[in-house]
Amino acid sequence: MRMLMKSNNPNILIVDDKLENLITLERLLEHFDVDLIRASSGKEALAHLLDNDFALVLLDVKMPDMDGYEVAELMRGNSRTKQIPIIFVTAESRGDALIFKGYEAGAVDYLLKPLNASIFRSKVGVFVDLYNQKHALKLKTLEFDQKLAELEELQQQLEETNEQLLMLSTTDGLTSLYNRRKFDDIYLEEWQRASRSQNPISLVMLDIDHFKLYNDTYGHHKGDDCLRTIASALQAMDIRHLDKIARIGGEEFAVILPDTDGDGAMLVAERARIAIENLNIPHETQFSKVTASFGVSSVVPKRELTPKFLMKAVDEALYESKKRGRNGSTLKLLKYGKEQPLAM
């Protein structure tokens, strides 16, 4: 038992206007691990109740100014104190009317003086145990909530890490465009979709003209800057959200154009060619500035064909553009009969 609230023990409020009664209650409660708080009046008791948390109130009935019944009724009318158990301890007559009045006021028990020590301690022990159990449950709940919050935070961090890893696995580190792995995935999905819908799919492939010579002349650092600048120009083009741009090799880029025929793909290629040319990146060894060559191909996929047919065609179209002098585009349309594809 403690008289000062400096521990984590439950608090019990003992209320009586006679000092000798308070001392008697304290002695009866000596073996409990509780902190006892005295109050010699109803007003003092209410002040303690508003400032502290209590496991139990042992309340005398007959006191001057404010009796125990009034204190109990005021406690039940306050959200902070209405759940605190009250045991009336009184020397008043044993009439049933007074006992019932005590219960009506909100008491959980009604003990008559002189107190039977064993019965008194047994009844007090029940409420101390209940308080300790409730307090332990509250601590466990707080601990659980904290662990849950930590798990949710870890889950969020894991999801963010997974998103970052996914982005890193599908994004080209230099240009922030899709990488070759992601390009292959998207291209296969769009090919299958075009095969089902029997709509055209087009590819645009571009290669920076004489880029090895550019690297040898200006250095790899400038070469990386050049690729990043071109990637930004491609990303800034006015194209649909369906169209996907990727860096598929050192100086090679590709654009996947779903639901697009050859004429539409040529427009995209020309727009990209002009955008790169207008960057005016110096390349004095061959041309006055950096340019790119383009291969364009389009097809309506048939069941007997694989995605490699279109890839091969666009690669051949790019080769033709380079043979013609670079900084231009070549279109290769594919028609399919029962035999092999025919370039047009």
CATH, residue 69: 3.40.50.2300
Q: How many domains does the chain have?
A: 2
Give a yes or no: residue 174 inside a domain: no
Q: How many alpha carbons lie under 13 Å from residue 33 in its C-beta half-sphere?
A: 6
Q: Is 206 found in the same domain as 107?
A: no
Please tell me which residue in 189, 251, 252, 316 is annotated as part of the active site: 251
Give a yes or no: residue 165 inside a domain: no
Local structure of 82: helix, strand or coil: coil
pLDDT-derived band at 106 (thresholds 50, 70, 90) equals: confident
The pLDDT score that the predictor gives to residue 196 is: 94
232-289 per-position pLDDT tens digit? 999 999 899 999 999 999 999 999 999 999 999 999 999 999 999 999 999 976 668 9
Distance in angstroms (rounded) separating the CA atoms of residues 204 and 295: 6
Long-range CB contacts for residues 16-21, cutoff 8 Å, separation at least 24:
16/40, 16/60, 16/63, 16/89, 17/41, 17/60, 17/63, 17/64, 18/60, 21/60, 21/113
Give a yes or no: residue 3 inside a domain: no
Where is the domain boundary, 115, 139, 163? 139
Q: Is 314 found in the same domain as 249?
A: yes
CATH, residue 275: 3.30.70.270
The pLDDT score that the predictor gives to residue 229 is: 97
Give a yes or no: residue 170 inside a domain: no
DSSP state of 92: S
Give a yes or no: residue 162 inside a domain: no
29-69 per-position pLDDT tens digit? 998 999 999 999 999 999 999 889 999 999 998 888 899 99
Give a yes or no: residue 5 inside a domain: no
Q: Is 206 found in the same domain as 339?
A: yes
Give a yes or no: residue 325 inside a domain: yes
Give a yes or no: residue 1 inside a domain: no
Distance in angstroms (rounded) separating the CA atoms of residues 139 and 227: 59
199 vs 102 pLDDT, higher one:
199
- Residue 251 bears catalytic tag: yes
Q: Is 198 found in the same domain as 116?
A: no
Structural domain span for residue 45: 11-139
Q: Is 207 found in the same domain as 104?
A: no
Characterise 210 by phi-psi region: left (phi > 0), alpha (psi -120 to 50), beta (else). Answer: left
